[in-house]
Structure 1
Amino acid sequence: MSENRFDSAAHARSMRDQGFWVDRSFDEFLQLTISTSPEKLALIADRADRAEPRRFTYAELGDLISRTAAALRRLGIGPRDVISVQLPNWWEFAVISLAAFRVGAIVNPLMPIFREHELSYMLEFAETKLLIVPKLFRGFDHEDMARSLQPKLPKLQHVIVVDGEGASSFDQAFLSGNERLGPPAVGEIGALPTDQMAVLMFTSGTTGSPKGVMHCLNSLMACSIALGGRFHLGASDTMLVCSPLGHMTGFAAGMLLGLKIGATVVFQDVWEPKRGVAIMANEGVTYSAGAATFLADMCEAVASGSPKPGRLRNFLCAGAPIPPALIDRVYRELDLKVCSLWGMTESLSSTLTEPERALEKSSKTDGRPLEGVAVKVIRMDGSPAAVGEKGLLKVRGAQMCLGYYKREDMEPFDAEGWFDTGDMAYMDDEGYIRIDGRIKDIIIRGGENVPVFDIENLMFKHPAVLSTAIVGYPDPRLGERACAFVVLRPGQTLDLAAVQALMAEHKVAKQYWPERVEIVADLPKAPAGKIQKYQLREIAKAFAETPRAANG
């Protein structure tokens, strides 16, 4: 191997030698809990469309997984086949994920907000063999969409529908038979090697199509071990997963973490603040995770009379910097410590402020490296940045992805294993970092990365648009909203309603739609012609104080 190329085999040896890759599966930890505490509550699944949640003991969950794993085998699903799961936070998501691991298949979590535009690309690129969708969610017919896409996807052999009817319903396809496929013996790896791709998760495209990030059981397990240790989590904890399972925050830092430690995991499929804090209070939730928007909503709900979640101790907050005033309010009104985290789909949970220092550090830093993770801040010339000096943030370690699926042309790591995050940051004298701007072109709206490049491309399809650039502007609840600066063709007009109609025509997830349109004579450009978005961001800052549907 070239000296200038990353040696993945050497990285794996180093992670094992240091004890950060443990070569153990989530199935193994699940079986340990089943053997010691079979009647312990494993999963409480709350659905907005149902009055009462479903409750499953660890023994019941284990049986559902065994039955589903056997059904996957009957359907011809095996090692390295991709199962795409476009479900809300429903119990079926946990069952299919653990069953997929057992048969050696790859789980591809997908956000329920995705529509034909996003799904057609992702399913074709992943060569998905089995797609699981809800019949209806938030009034949208996912089954109808999936069926309409299937003829265009020759690799897609099966569409299974939760709440569906007939042989293709989840219950009929997976749970109607008596056959079980049990787990491998404790200590045995099973059908899915721990250092091969187990999860394929797409990033929001910022410079092109979304990239498929590959994670293995070892990197996912390293995330669980590090977070569990920093938060002192264990089997006595009850964890609310209200962040979507289609994101690593919900999938890895919620579901997998909770099942690994033998905790009780609570799913909430639709975030409704009053219902959310009531669940926390009624179920005795001790830990949760999500974007800052969840925290603001919780405070408002309790202030309006909802019960205070008395056992909730820690909240992992990721996705964007947390306003200091919000951290103070949460501690004052909810007696809750907010622990700031920085991570990426590629690097999972990279830096975290521990609970012991949350009040001091979370308002001004994004944490320090978790165990098995290293970060550094460098100048543009590659030299180390001084303490407090802003530079480019790089990360490496046990939670790093394996690379990008089908993109051998993209080497995400340098020869020493460092990953270029594209984020600007500075580090204090204790090793805590603070994200301070982004080189990469994304907008983070409510913890969701908006694929700016993709949306800009669609904007060009409108006959009135000569050129456009989309940037974020501050929002007190969502963190950022998207503003489209547009240069019109001569004699043309454009308003927000026309842009929304364009997005709807192309079936783009509503969370990605621009929420403001500004008509300008020209876009600021560098001498080489590149649009200078930082100037647009400065202009857009003023929009935080004005109605978001305004037009220039």
Structure 2
Amino acid sequence: MTSLVELAADPELARRYRDNGWWRDTTFLDDLAESVRSRPDSPVLINGRTVDDTVRVVSYREFDQLVRRIAGSLDDLDVRAGDVVAFQLPDWWETAALLLACLRAGVVAQPIVPQLRAREIERALARTGARVCVTVDSWAGYGHARAIAEMAPRLPRLRHRVVYGDAADTGALDFHECFVNRPDPDLSSVSPVHPDQPSMVLFTSGSTGEPKGVLHTCNTIYAGAAGFMAEAVREPGADRAASTMRVSHIACPLWAVFGVLLTGGAGVFQDGADPDQMLDLMVRAETSRLLTSPPSLAKLIAAQRERPRELPSLRTVMTGGTTVPPGMVPMVRETFGVPLRAVWGMTENVVGTTVRADAPHDWSAHSDGTPLPGLEVRVVTPEPEGATGALQVRGASMCVGTITGDIGTITTTGTGHGDWFDTGDVARPDGRGGIRIEGRVADRVYDVNAEVMIPVRDVEEELAQHPCVKDVAIISCKDGARERVCAVVVPGGEPPTLEDLHDLLRERGMTEAYYPDRLEFVDELPRDPMGKLRKYQLREMYDAE
């Protein structure tokens, strides 16, 4: 396959998804158009910007204007249906506008998180054959524009570079001259993306190995977003959706861009990670719901406790992307006055499960929730019911294909439409129709004699309670022909001994087969931009060492 426009959903499945209301014949562009008609001057995005220490409040009218102008410029640059437009920008409102502009131009958006550097950027652009790359001159001390200019000769399909900031330094097109300071275009001859056509390619975080490109359509994103919004927005009042996650990933757009287009609300995000600034922005925006990762949430809790703010509109706090420490659940209620609701999802399925609003207030300490409409989940295990096993999913929010090599090698089988998709996660039933994620399949560790799969998450959560353990990861590592259970610990003071860890697990009554038999120390555990542990890096460090 050489063009993404050739990739189509199975007609029978598409019909079933539509019959159930999980897919539709319109797109997020129609949602935007409706809000422009009904609430043109209402805010759609509230964006904190450290670059100039301002808060930018963007109306639906202004947002729509930039979306249309960018789409017109992409057409002027001879970008056509099925072509890929990549962009690597900070968490600015213009990044969200690029997502919608690609839909309007009928092309495929390729957002790239700003933390990636030259090696990973070049590989991502080469794999998709991006025709246009939009970036910033420099951010967080890194020269993005110069890095892309240097790699451009090795990317034969890359035709145009657009730079926000100093474009002249690298001979690129200027973002404002190209996209902003231009007349409103005539788009009558430009066809927007079809709801079932690939509209976004996102590379997985690579937490277990080599990243792959994941292809989503407007409808696979809608299938996740619609059910998610029905759970997240359950009370009357203005919808103000804050997120600390990246606009260039899947979670933040789902929550604070596509999600608010469905509700007619406003997304709230900033381009920095300072928790005090984020809380101040949430106060100003009168935030009603928050989506964040557990590491970021821990910082928000600490900042709020240090300097309490009034957040009377806040009704929902959700968190996911990595393990939710059980102790965080009561801390959120004590600090923000609302229950914490766990969420599980992955790039391939947009969002999968969430703890429901009517669940017990502490349920997120025990569960990652029940499936959202249109998605099925199952735990596959040869062991008795209720045991830990491999988590598989299928349904309307699953991606329609993956790029494992370059744009000509798209895999459409095993993506979870009809067949089951193996998530790579290990889970167990939570006893209430939902699941609890226990770890990754790649993180499975077996006791050779007992043939027991170690519940990695349980062991990590128990060890994290040790006063000398600040952070911990359990991995399997090879020692000759033997696989060993290794605890990689960030000390929280005097480093514990392996026997100290065993004593704790013994006090908690944990099965001896689950005890680590190797202990290593690091200053910090490697995590991706979502806060997810990169355990494959730890295995590379300690295998056969």
Q: TM-score, normalised by structure 2?
A: 0.79
Q: 1:40 to 1:128 in 2, by over 3 A?
A: same
After superposition, the CA RMSD in angstroms is 3.0
Which amino acid is the alignment partner of residue 548 of structure 1?
Answer: V
Residues 440-488 of structure 1: CA deviation (Å, up to 9, x unaligned)? 359xxxxxxxxxxxxxxxxxxxxxxxxxxxxx99879x99678999xxx
Q: Is the 8 A contact 2:85 2:132 kept in 1?
A: yes
1:25 to 24, 27, 31: 27
Partner of 1:249: 251
Which amino acid is the alignment partner of residue 194 of structure 1?
Answer: P
Cα drift, residue 354 of structure 1: 1.6
Q: d(CA) in 2 for partners of 1:366 and 1:359?
A: 13
Unaligned runs of 5+ residues in structure 1 are 1-5, 443-471, 486-521
Q: 1:24 to 1:387 in 2, by over 3 A?
A: farther
Q: Is the 8 A contact 2:395 2:416 kept in 1?
A: no
Cα drift, residue 21 of structure 1: 0.7
Residue correspondence of structure 1 range 108-507 to structure 2 within 5 A: 108-165=110-167, 168-181=173-186, 190-205=191-206, 209-232=210-233, 236-357=238-359, 359-380=361-382, 386-405=384-403, 406-408=408-410, 411-413=413-415, 416-440=418-442
2:109 maps to 1:107:
yes
Q: 1:542 to 1:76 in 2, by over 3 A?
A: closer
Residues 18-73 of structure 1: CA deviation (Å, up to 9, x unaligned)? 22111221010001011001110111221112222122111111111111111111
Q: d(CA) in 1 for partners of 2:9 and 2:130?
A: 29
Task: Provide the aligned length of Structure 1 versus Structure 2.
Answer: 466
1:540 to 488, 501, 511: 488
Q: 1:183 to 1:64 in 2, by over 3 A?
A: farther
Partner of 1:524: 479
Partner of 2:503: none
Which amino acid is the alignment partner of residue 351 of structure 2?
Answer: S
1:67 aligns to what SS in structure 2? helix
Q: Is the 8 A contact 1:238 1:264 kept in 2?
A: yes
Unaligned runs of 5+ residues in structure 2 are 1-7, 445-459, 496-520, 525-540
1:131 aligns to what SS in structure 2? strand
Cα drift, residue 172 of structure 1: 0.6
Residues 118-177 of structure 1: CA deviation (Å, up to 9, x unaligned)? 111110011011111111211221111111111111111111111234571210111122
Q: 1:146 to 1:542 in 2, by over 3 A?
A: closer
Cα drift, residue 280 of structure 1: 0.9
Q: 1:437 to 1:484 in 2, by over 3 A?
A: closer
Q: Is the 8 A contact 1:248 1:345 kept in 2?
A: yes
Q: d(CA) in 2 for partners of 1:475 and 1:183?
A: 59
1:346 aligns to what SS in structure 2? helix
Q: d(CA) in 1 for partners of 2:146 and 2:41?
A: 38
Q: 1:331 to 1:181 in 2, by over 3 A?
A: farther
Residues 74-111 of structure 1: CA deviation (Å, up to 9, x unaligned)? 11112111011111210111111111100101011111
Q: d(CA) in 1 for partners of 2:253 and 2:28?
A: 13
1:108 aligns to what SS in structure 2? strand
Residues 224-258 of structure 1: CA deviation (Å, up to 9, x unaligned)? 21111112268821111320012211122332112
Q: Is the 8 A contact 1:67 1:181 kept in 2?
A: no
1:10 to 4, 12, 23: 12
| % identical aligned pairs | 27
Cα drift, residue 10 of structure 1: 2.9
Partner of 1:62: 64
Instruction: Detail structure 1 runs of 4+ shifted over 6 Å in the superposition.
Output: 472-476, 478-485
Q: 1:17 to 1:201 in 2, by over 3 A?
A: same
1:288 aligns to what SS in structure 2? strand
Q: TM-score, normalised by structure 1?
A: 0.78
Which amino acid is the alignment partner of residue 185 of structure 2?
Answer: R
Partner of 1:549: 523
Q: d(CA) in 1 for partners of 2:198 and 2:132?
A: 17
Q: 1:336 to 1:398 in 2, by over 3 A?
A: same
Cα drift, residue 429 of structure 1: 3.2
Q: Is the 8 A contact 2:41 2:59 kept in 1?
A: yes
Q: d(CA) in 1 for partners of 2:417 and 2:400?
A: 14
Q: 1:9 to 1:358 in 2, by over 3 A?
A: farther
Q: d(CA) in 2 for partners of 1:479 and 1:25?
A: 45
Q: 1:276 to 1:415 in 2, by over 3 A?
A: closer
Q: Is the 8 A contact 2:473 2:488 kept in 1?
A: no
Cα drift, residue 423 of structure 1: 1.1
Which amino acid is the alignment partner of residue 221 of structure 1?
Answer: Y
Q: d(CA) in 2 for partners of 1:426 and 1:220?
A: 26
